[in-house]
Structure 1
Amino acid sequence: MRITQRLGELPLGSWHWRLLAIIAVGWAFDAMDTGIVSFVLPKLMGLWQLSPTQIGMIGSVGLIGMAVGAALSGTLADSMGRRKLLAATMLIYGLATGGCGLAWNYESLLVFRFLVGFGLGGQVPVAVTLMSEYSPTKYRGRMIVLLESSWALGWLAAAVISYLVIPQYGWQLAFFIGAFPAVWVLYVWKTVPESVLYLVKKGKLAEAHAIVCEIERSLGVPCGPAPTAADRSEPVKSSFTFAKLFSGIYLKKTICLWVLWFGLVFSYYGIFMWLPTLLVKSGHSMVQSFEFVIWMTLAQIPGYFTAAVLVDRIGRKPTLAAFLILCAGAAYLFGHAATWNEILLWGCLMSFFNLGAWGLMYTYTPEMYPTEARASGTGWAGACGRIGGMLAPMVVGMMFTGPDKFSLVFAMFTSVLIIIALNVLVLGEETMNKPLEDTAEEKAPGVA
C-alpha cells in the first residue's frame, strides 16, 4: 500500500486530535487578535479622535497584510515545507500583536497591524493545508470544520478579555495578552511534523515512511511496508505556477474559490469588525454591544458543529450553499430588527451560519488542488478574500452615516451572500470522500 494511501485510510485517533488541538491554539489566537481590534476601535475613536475613515483603515491595513502573507506563505509552503512556514508566520503575528500594545499613535498602529496581518494571513493557508493532509479521508471535512471552530473560541476570548480588561486596565494589555503565539511557536516547532504528502512529492520517502509508521504505532495499527522501488522511481512533475491556476481544469475551480473567498470574507469583516461600533452609533451602549457580541460568538459554536456533522454526510457543495443562503436571510432580518430581542435573535443566526460557512470553505479549498499546489492555491484564494476583507470596513465606513443607514448596510451584505451561494451552486464541484491525490492533474502508475 502506498504511503499516502496508508495515511488517508488510518482510523481517526488520539494522534489526529492532538495535532488538531496544537494547530487550533494558533488559529484561536488569530481570531482573538482580530476580535480585540474590533473592541479596541471604539475606544481609540474617542481617545485619538479618529474619523470613521481612519477606523476603517486600521481594519483594512491588517487585511492588506493578510493578503500579502497568504499569497507568499502559500507559495513558499509548497516549495519549502508546511512546518517551517507555520512556525514563522505564528512568530511574526505574535510579536507584532505585542507591538500593537506599544503603539503611540495612529501611524505606528497601522505599521504593527500590517505586520500582524502578514503573519495571520500567512498562517491560515499553511495550517489548513497541513491539517487537511494529515486528516483521514473519511473524516477530513469534520476535522477542518472543527479546526475553524477554534476561531469562535478565540473571538469569545477576545470579547471576554475586552469586556474585563479594556475598561479597567486599558487597551494595551489586551494586545499584550494576544502576543502569546510568540511563545506557543516553540511547542509547535517541537511537536508538529512536516507534511507526509509534501515529503513524498519532494522524494523524501524514508522520512515520510517514518512519520506514517509513528502515527500507525500510536493508533495501534501495524506499520506498513517500506517504500518500494516503484515509489522511488516516481517521475518528477513540472512545477506548479500561478498561471496554471487560471488554465485547464483549474480555471473553473479558481474562479469559484476566489469569488467565494472574496464574498465571504467581505461579509465577515464588514459585519464583525464594525459591529460594536455600529451598535454604539445606533444608540446602544458600549457595554450592551460587548454583551451582544459575546452572545453572537457563542452562537458560532453550534454553527461550526452543525457544519462539521453535515459536511461529511451530505457533502461540501450543498451544505456550503445552504449556510450562505440562510446567512443572507438572517443578515437581511438583522438589518431590519426593531427591538433588542430581534437584534439578538437574527444576529445570533447570522453568526451561526456565517461562521459555519467559513469552516466549510476551509474544508473545500485545499481539496481542489494537488499537493504541489495545495498551499499556493489556498493561499491565493485567501489573498483574494483578504482584498474583500480590506474593502469591507472602508465600504461600511462610507455607507454608515447615520442610524437610518443600518438596514442599507445589511441589505448589501445580503446581496453579496446570495451571489456567492449561486457561485458555489453553479461553478462548484463535490469533493466529499475523495483522496487528496485525486485532485492531481495526472497520476502515474505507482505514485505514492
Structure 2
Amino acid sequence: MPTMTNLAQRIAPVAYEDAPLTKFQIKVTIAGTGGQFSDGFILGIIGIVITASTGALGLTPLWIGLLGAATLAGLFVGAIVTGPIADRIGRRGIFAWDMLIFAVLSAIQFFIESPWQLLVLRLLIGVVLGADYVVSKSLVTEHAPRSFRGRLMSLLAVAWATGYVAAYLVGYLLTQLHGESWRYMLAASAVPALLIFWFRLGVPESPLWLTQHGRTAEAAAVVRTHLGDGVLPPPVETTTIKRRGIRVLFTPKFRRRTAVGALFYVCQVIPFFALGTFSPQVMESLGVTSKLGAGAAYNTFLLIGAVLGLLFIDRLSRRTFLIGTFFLGAALLAALVAFADTSPVVAVVIFALFALVLAAAVNLEYVYPPELFPTDLRASGVGIAVAASRIGSAASTFLLPIIVAQYSVNVALIACVIVLAIGGLICWAWAPETGTEALGEVAEEVQKESDEHTHH
C-alpha cells in the first residue's frame, strides 16, 4: 500500500515548466518543424532550380544573384516585422495559418513565366518563413518542459537540415524528368507545408503568453486540457506586467542579451554558408572531383551534425556548448587550412569534424535566442536575432566568392576562422547561462543582471 507521503507526492501539483513530457508537447514540436523543413528545402532547392532554368528563363548573372538572395531578404523582413506583432496579438494565429500561405505561394511558382515573377514570389515566401521562424521558436519553447526544452527545440534544427538534404535529393530525382523539371522542383515545397498545416490547427496558444496578457482563465484551461489537473498554470511574470515595445531590447537592461542573441547567430551563419559555398572546392582539393559527391558528403555531415547536437544539447550547459563549438570550430578550420596539403586522409577527417561541429552548433540557433528574453519580448528578441543572421548569411554569400576570386579559398576560410573566434569571445564575455532558467523567471534574471552591472 502507498504511504501517505507517497500519496501526497503523487498528487502534489507540478509547476507548468516542470511538467512531464507528454504526446501533446511532442505534437507541438512536430508542428513547429514544418517551417524549418520548408526553409531548408527552399534554400537547398534554389541552386538546382537556377541551374536547370537558366536557359528557359534567360537568367543573367544579375538575376541569378537576385533570386539566390530573395528568400534571405524576405526572411529578414518577415522576422523583424512579425516579432512585435506576435508579442502583441499572440503566436497561435500566425503559427496556424502561415504554412497554408507558404503552400499557396510555393504552388504558384509552377506557373511563372519570367524572372521577375519568380523574384516576387521568392521574396514573399521569405517573408512568410521569417514570420514562421519567430512564432515557431517562441511557441514551441513556451510549450516545452524545462528539462526537455533543448532537445525539443533541437528537433527544429534537425528538420532544417532534413529539408536541405531532401531538396538535394528531390532536385536530383526531378532532373531525370523531361521538359521543365525546375517547375516541379519549385512547387514541391507546397506538399510538406500542406501536411504540416493540418497538423497545426489543433495547437493552442501559449499559456505563458496568455497569462502575461491577463487571460489567466484561458491559460489554465489550456494547461488543464493538455497537461492534466496536476499541473499548475504559469504564474504572471510580475516584473513585466507593463506592456513594452521592441525598443526596450536596446536599453541598458536588455542590450547585452540582445547583442549576444544577434551576434552569436551571425558568427555561426557566416562560416556555415561559407562551408556550403566552398564544400565542392574543399572536396575537390581532397580528391573528390564530382560535384554530386561533394554535395552528398556535405549534406551527410550536415544531417549527422544536427542529430549529434540534439543528443548533446541538454547534456552540456548552454555557455559550454556555445563557447566550445565556436573555439573548436575555429581550431578545426585553421587546421584544415594548415594541413590540407599534407595528406588527403587527414584533410578529409578534419573537414568532416569541422562540418559536424558547426552543424551541431546550429542547434543553438533554435534553443538559445528564445531563452534569452521574457515572454512579453520573446518573439521580438527572436525576430532581431533571426534578422541579424540573414544579414550575416547574405554578406557571406555575397563577399566570399569575391574574396576567393581575388585571393584564394584559404583566405576566405581564414576569415571564417576569425569570425568563429570573435563569436567565441563574445559568448565568453557576455552570454548568460539559460539552460536551467524557467522561462517565467527570465525577467527576474535580467533585472538581477542589470542590478549587478549597475552596482559594478
Matched, 1:116 2:116: no
Cα distance per residue 1:265-289 (max 9 Å; x no partner): 23323432x3477679989999x32
* Contact 2:318-2:435 at 8 Å conserved across structures: yes
- Residue 26 of structure 1, CA deviation: 3.2
Cα distance per residue 1:341-399 (max 9 Å; x no partner): 66654443333222211211321111111100001110111111111122221112322
* Contact 1:52-1:397 at 8 Å conserved across structures: no
* Contact 2:74-2:127 at 8 Å conserved across structures: yes
Tell me: CA distance 1:279–1:24, structure 2 relative to 1, closer, same or farther (3 Å): same
Q: CA RMSD for the aligned pairs?
A: 3.2
User: Of 292, 295, 301, which aligns to 2:294?
Assistant: 292
* Contact 2:36-2:160 at 8 Å conserved across structures: yes
Matches of 1:44 and 1:349, distance apart in 2:
35
Matched, 1:432 2:435: yes
Matches of 1:284 and 1:172, distance apart in 2:
34
Question: In the TM superposition, what are the counterparts of 1:254-273 in structure 2 within 5 Å?
Answer: 254-272=258-276
- Residue in structure 2 matched with residue 28 of structure 1 by the alignment: 37
Question: In the TM superposition, what are the counterparts of 1:53-72 in structure 2 within 5 Å?
Answer: 54-72=63-81
* Contact 2:208-2:375 at 8 Å conserved across structures: yes
- Residue in structure 2 matched with residue 94 of structure 1 by the alignment: 103
Question: In the TM superposition, what are the counterparts of 1:193-272 in structure 2 within 5 Å?
Answer: 193-217=204-228, 222-224=229-231, 237-272=241-276
Matches of 2:308 and 2:395, distance apart in 1:
30
Cα distance per residue 1:409-448 (max 9 Å; x no partner): 222222212211211111111111110011115899xxxx
Matches of 2:103 and 2:123, distance apart in 1:
13
Question: In the TM superposition, what are the counterparts of 1:8-407 in structure 2 within 5 Å?
Answer: 8-44=17-53, 50=59, 54-169=63-178, 170-184=181-195, 186-217=197-228, 222-224=229-231, 237-272=241-276, 274-275=277-278, 288-333=290-335, 337=340, 344-401=348-405, 405-407=408-410
Tell me: CA distance 1:25–1:243, structure 2 relative to 1, closer, same or farther (3 Å): closer
Cα distance per residue 1:321-352 (max 9 Å; x no partner): 21222333344455674587666544433332
Q: Which runs of 5+ in 2 are unaligned?
A: 1-12, 448-456
Matches of 2:364 and 2:240, distance apart in 1:
32
Tell me: CA distance 1:185–1:304, structure 2 relative to 1, closer, same or farther (3 Å): closer
Tell me: CA distance 1:278–1:9, structure 2 relative to 1, closer, same or farther (3 Å): same
Tell me: CA distance 1:421–1:103, structure 2 relative to 1, closer, same or farther (3 Å): farther
- Residue 111 of structure 1, CA deviation: 1.6
Tell me: CA distance 1:409–1:54, structure 2 relative to 1, closer, same or farther (3 Å): farther
Moved more, 132-141 or 182-191: 182-191
Tell me: CA distance 1:210–1:30, structure 2 relative to 1, closer, same or farther (3 Å): same
* Contact 1:56-1:393 at 8 Å conserved across structures: no
* Contact 1:200-1:208 at 8 Å conserved across structures: yes
* Contact 1:38-1:276 at 8 Å conserved across structures: no
- What is the aligned residue count? 431
Matches of 1:41 and 1:276, distance apart in 2:
19
Moved more, 326-335 or 298-307: 326-335
Tell me: CA distance 1:224–1:331, structure 2 relative to 1, closer, same or farther (3 Å): closer
Q: So what's the TM-score if we normalise by structure 2?
A: 0.84
- Residue 234 of structure 1, CA deviation: 7.3
One-letter amino acid matched to 1:366: P
Matches of 1:259 and 1:416, distance apart in 2:
10
One-letter amino acid matched to 1:210: A
* Contact 2:97-2:197 at 8 Å conserved across structures: no
Tell me: CA distance 1:137–1:235, structure 2 relative to 1, closer, same or farther (3 Å): closer
Matches of 1:52 and 1:322, distance apart in 2:
39
- Residue 309 of structure 1, CA deviation: 3.4
Tell me: CA distance 1:290–1:193, structure 2 relative to 1, closer, same or farther (3 Å): farther
Cα distance per residue 1:95-136 (max 9 Å; x no partner): 333333433333332222211211111111210111111111
Tell which structure's C-alpha radius of gyration is larger. Answer: 2
Matches of 2:109 and 2:408, distance apart in 1:
32
Matches of 1:443 and 1:301, distance apart in 2:
35
Identity %: 26
Cα distance per residue 1:21-72 (max 9 Å; x no partner): 2222332122111111133344455665656554333222221111100011
- Residue 407 of structure 1, CA deviation: 2.0
* Contact 1:68-1:121 at 8 Å conserved across structures: yes
Q: Which runs of 5+ in 1 are unaligned?
A: none
* Contact 1:330-1:350 at 8 Å conserved across structures: yes
